[in-house]
Amino acid sequence: MSAEQAAALEALMAEVFTGVELNLYLDTHPWDEQALMCFNRHSAQLMELKHAYEARYGPLLGFGYSPSPDKWRWNMSPWPWEMA
């Protein structure tokens, strides 16, 4: 995995972490409008990063969550979890 791909994956993981934490917070504070706006902003950022990563390096998720537009790339490595 190249340094550029690793950095892109790290940025994705940071957004996922932030989204999970905000999700947990909103479970107990559902009326916090500021937290909801922050969650929505991070969700949009995550989708942008995900689409950019997948366009360059291949799908992150299977089973209908990540289309493979040009060819089936699930059998190509490195896989997202194969960190060097």
- The predicted-structure confidence for 33-53, as pLDDT tens digits, reads as follows 899 999 999 999 999 999 999
Say how far apart CA 66 and CA 37 lie, in whole Å. 25
Least trusted range by pLDDT, from 21-25, 26-30, 37-41, 78-82: 78-82
What backbone torsions phi and psi does residue 66 show, to the nearest 5 degrees?
A: -135, 100
Q: Please list, in sequence order, all residues whose beta carbon lies within 8 angstroms of the beta carbon of residue 52, skipping any fewer than 6 positions away.
A: 8
Say how far apart CA 12 and CA 49 lie, in whole Å. 6
Q: Note the pTM of the prediction, 2 decimals.
A: 0.72
What backbone torsions phi and psi does residue 79 show, to the nearest 5 degrees?
A: -80, 160
- The one-letter code for the residue type at 25 is Y
